[in-house]
A and B are shown apart, each in its own frame.
Chain A
Amino acid sequence: MSAALSKAAPESRHPTAFVDRIVRNAWYVSAFRSEVGQALLPRKILGQPIVMYRTAAGRLVAMRDSCPHRFMPLSRGRLYKDGVRCMYHGALYDETGKCIEVPSQHEIPAKCFVKTYPTAEVERWVWIWMGDPDKADPALIPDKKYLGMGTEGFRSVDIKHRVGQARYHLCNENLIDDTHVTFLHMGQFESGGRVHTPPETTQIDRWVRTRWFDPDEKISNYFKMEFDVDYDRAPRALVGHFCAPATHCVWIEVYDPKNPDKMPKTLRIAFCFTPESDTTTHMFVCESRNYRTENAEWDEFMRESFHMIQSQDLHAVEGIEYVMQNSHELPEEVSFRADASVLRARRLINEMLDKEAAP
């Protein structure tokens, strides 16, 4: 980002315009569990290249992806027993990152080790802590009960991992602000009534929760197929959950208009927007549904249709990122009444950043 933009955009005006505003002391998703096996998986997380793999016993390892000798990426090396051998000069590191062999000499330099990172596996995701390891409390992982995965009666589907060319704040705010749906995803989801109706917004612990309920929502053609319902109008709830700094779950509940007391058909879409760099973002998504749980055909349909929706979201946030990176100056940002949840989320993230910056 140019110095000119930094000068023109004071922090108070553009919380999203600054590239150095990534919360580090937090759990982020680094991979789907199914992605990590006995092979080296490189990925950049919070600006740091890391490599992930599993030991023969299945334990997950995440370490810095560079040999301390000459910085060769270890992901270009080879798994050797439960460690990694650098295939430049042969240094061997065990699963804790300790160097246990230097082929060209007997003694091992004291500083020859690779940093490892705390990880946790919960349901379908691998979580990683890139900040102060002493603060990596697994209790801080967003509560899985909101994420849908592993909920009894639900079937979960991993959505293909993508990297968005936009900072994670923009991805967060796109998802929290659901009034964009009517325009960016025109005709695919709903009638547009949501734009005119303020949501109920509450905060539960670290979660910001917004809920729209329409007792007589027009059900789009796409929703009819996705939810396998044949009614044109039905009660529908849309509940968004955000756990700062980067985890979300959106619940969509379609009720039977003839029997609204019956359990609604529910889709829970969990997201984690993990910063890859200051201006790019990993998108980890898992969809869970409580209908057609026996039909694999729905899995592929959901993946394909979600890909299209996500592309529309990326069209917006990548456009904003372009403006942010290429504007000589930006005017003061304007907020609408519907931005209450977004502003609350910004405050939560700012509190986390302030806490990190405190001595």
Chain B
Amino acid sequence: MESTQVVIIGGGATGAGILWDLSLRGIKAVLLEQKDLANGATGRCHGLLHSGGRYVVKDIEAARECLAENQFVKKIAPHCVHDVGGLFVQYPQDDPAFFRQWEEAARTVGLASQHLSAEETLDLEPHLPKNILGAFTCPDAHVDVFQLAQSNIESAVSRGGAFRTYSEVTAIGITDGRVRSVSYRDTRNGDEFQIGCDMVINASGGWAQKVASLAGVDVPVRCDKGSLLIFNHNLVSRVVNRCRKPGDADILVPAGPVCVLGTSSITVPTPDGLTADPDEIQHLLGLGAELIPVLAEARVLRIFSGARPLYVPKSAGAAGGREISRGFALLDHETLDHVKGFVSIVGGKLTTYRLMAEVTANLVAAKLGVNEPCRTTETPLRQTIDETVLSRARKLLPAQAASIAERRLGPNLARIVAAIERRPELAEIICECEQVTLAELEFVLGDETLVPIRALTDVGRRTRLGFGPCQGTFCGYKAMLAGYRSHRWSAAEASTEFEHYLDARWKGQSFVSHGKQVEQLYLSHDLFGVTYNFHDQNGQ
């Protein structure tokens, strides 16, 4: 039986952050994720790197935490962050008393903020409604959630950490009140495995309760569903928050080429199989148009839902989604439930993932008798890129493609550049919307990457391929062919991969009930369903 010191369950930001932290301390760990990295809340969130502004009035501790982590993440992972800044906009329909409270609380927390007049604000963000009263600035940013999860894993792997995707934990072996092993099943081929270990960390977010039950332990987690709308292009250049008590659809985040509006807050029984319902979408769109009027006519690319894992200690009673603390809890099941070697980290936010990893790793290191301090606040997640590689890339690729590749690939850009220099045809742009080259695609499909994919649907999370307006209509097929040509998949496998790919891409679009995306979806249906005879599960 394979063995390691620590098994981490869950490949979201928290689990990935823990793997990196442990690897930096020299602790051997294997991360198991039931699907692909960032399959859970991490890949289904706004990607707002909170400055704390959203919490200053209600929860000053959470605000302080966010502010500190905001600065750490910007420092250690600049390639994952669009440091765009944010605004808390004062709308005439909102409570002016809140504006004063906000300003005061921001000062108390030490949030760098400046008040802008209505004209100054409109100058920066012309899409805001003309009747706004002004805005406060704040250091909000966007963080690319897929990059962040991937970067933590990549760095961890280069330091000896290991991870396995499509590996669902099915049992936690306990003898004499102590965790001894973890069993998991490869969800792509059904193979069963077991790893011996000294400790197990439950970082499975909304699934934490279910995973904890494998060790006979109860972890009360409430799943709070939030739905998000992705718009085709950037309609704002900074994060726009509504300066009021946090509510639905009051944040618009410029997230790379797209922008993301959200969210709602609805308690659900499980994080699996979430969908947005039509009322919810109309509700979000209506409020979105209050935030930025042009959202009413802008193109929605897709709609998706995630579940916030909210920790509800038994004392919390029946409070609803937004009333429960967004703080996190580290549960040592040795002291709580007499199960040695088992800890859970639950709740929290994407923004605080590093801190959550730190406290978890501190506890685990102490239990393992490892005396290494946490170094994640000062160790960059990625090495800098060689200047000569950059200038070679700029010669080979158009300006925007070079700039995208540089941010996404980091030091791996050297491989892409060398590959294109050897075979110039690899400079072909396969995904036009997101400017992904054939060279990058082949790299992601190949064996040299430290974060290999297993399914065609994983390619988007590594490269953004298929994330633009056509939603994979034209590039998904080419990516499948590239996988076939590189002998990753046989013809039959490639075709199955593509069917799954289409299903996944179609699903997120099928909730968009209006506008150009409906036509886009029909184009894809007609092309692949009717013309190429790929099956069509949605029957649309």
Tell whether A pairs with B: no
CB within 8 Å of A: which residues of B?
Answer: none
